[in-house]
Structure 1
Amino acid sequence: MIAGLSVFTAAAIALGSGIVWNRYLREPQQHLEPMPAHLVVLDTPAGRALLAGSDAVADFDELRAHFVPQSRRAYCGVASALTTLNAGGARLDEAALFSHPNVDSHPLKVSFTGMSLRQLGTLMRAHGARVDIVHASDANLDDFRRVVRQNLAREGDFLILNYERELLGQPPMGHISPVAAYHADSDRLLVLDVAAHRYPPTWVPLEGMWNAMRAPLNAGTTRTRGFLAVHDNAPNHSE
Structure 2
Amino acid sequence: MKHAIKLSLTTLIVGWSINALAATIVYWDNPDSFERLMSSENKADFTRLSVYYQPQENKMFCGVASAAMVLNALRVDRTPEQIPFDSSQFSTLESGYLPNGGGNVEHSDKSYVSWSPLFHRYTQNTVLIHSPKSRIEILGKPAKGSQFNDYGLQLSQFVDLVKSNGAKVVSYELQNIDDIDAIKANMVTALNQPEHYLVVNYARKGVEQKGGGHYAPVAAYDRGSDSFLILDPNNADYLWHWVDATSMIKAMNTIDVDRYRGYAIISD
With the shorter chain as reference, the TM-score category is 0.7 to 0.9
Q: Is the 2:132–2:160 Cα contact (8 Å) retained in structure 1?
A: no
Q: Is the 2:25–2:241 Cα contact (8 Å) retained in structure 1?
A: yes
Deviation at 1:151, TM superposition (A): 1.1
Q: Determine the structure 1 residue equivalent to 2:261.
A: 225
1:200 maps to a residue whose letter is L
The percent of aligned pairs where both chains have the same amino acid is 31
The counterpart of 1:42, out of the listed 8, 11, 28, is 28
Q: Determine the structure 2 residue equivalent to 1:194.
A: 233
Secondary structure (helix, strand or coil) at the match of 1:94 reads coil
List gaps (5 residues or longer) in structure 2. 1-20, 77-120, 141-150
The counterpart of 1:64, out of the listed 50, 62, 67, is 50
Deviation at 1:161, TM superposition (A): 0.6
Secondary structure (helix, strand or coil) at the match of 2:157 reads helix
Shifted more, 82-91 versus 35-44: the winner is 35-44
2:185 maps to a residue whose letter is R
Q: Is the 1:80–1:194 Cα contact (8 Å) retained in structure 2?
A: yes
Q: Determine the structure 2 residue equivalent to 1:81.
A: 67
Q: Is the 2:57–2:124 Cα contact (8 Å) retained in structure 1?
A: no
Q: Determine the structure 2 residue equivalent to 1:132.
A: 170
Q: Determine the structure 2 residue equivalent to 1:51.
A: 37
Cα distance in 2, alignment partners of residues 82 and 54 from structure 1: 25
1:19-58: CA deviations, max 9, x gaps?
Answer: xxxxxxxxxxxxxxxx944210123210000000001111
Cα distance in 1, alignment partners of residues 223 and 67 from structure 2: 26
Deviation at 1:231, TM superposition (A): 3.0
Cα distance in 2, alignment partners of residues 56 and 46 from structure 1: 17
List gaps (5 residues or longer) in structure 1. 1-34, 233-239
Given the alignment of the two structures, is residue 96 of structure 1 paired with residue 126 of structure 2, yes or no? yes
**What CA RMSD, in Å, does the superposition of the two structures yield over aligned residues?**
1.7
Larger radius of gyration: 2
Cα distance in 1, alignment partners of residues 232 and 191 from structure 2: 16
Given the alignment of the two structures, is residue 118 of structure 1 paired with residue 133 of structure 2, yes or no? no
Cα distance in 1, alignment partners of residues 160 and 70 from structure 2: 14
Secondary structure (helix, strand or coil) at the match of 2:75 reads coil
Q: Determine the structure 1 residue equivalent to 2:184.
A: 145
Cα distance in 2, alignment partners of residues 95 and 51 from structure 1: 32
Deviation at 1:143, TM superposition (A): 2.7
The normalised TM-score by structure 2 is 0.68
Q: Determine the structure 2 residue equivalent to 1:13.
A: none
Q: Determine the structure 2 residue equivalent to 1:164.
A: 203
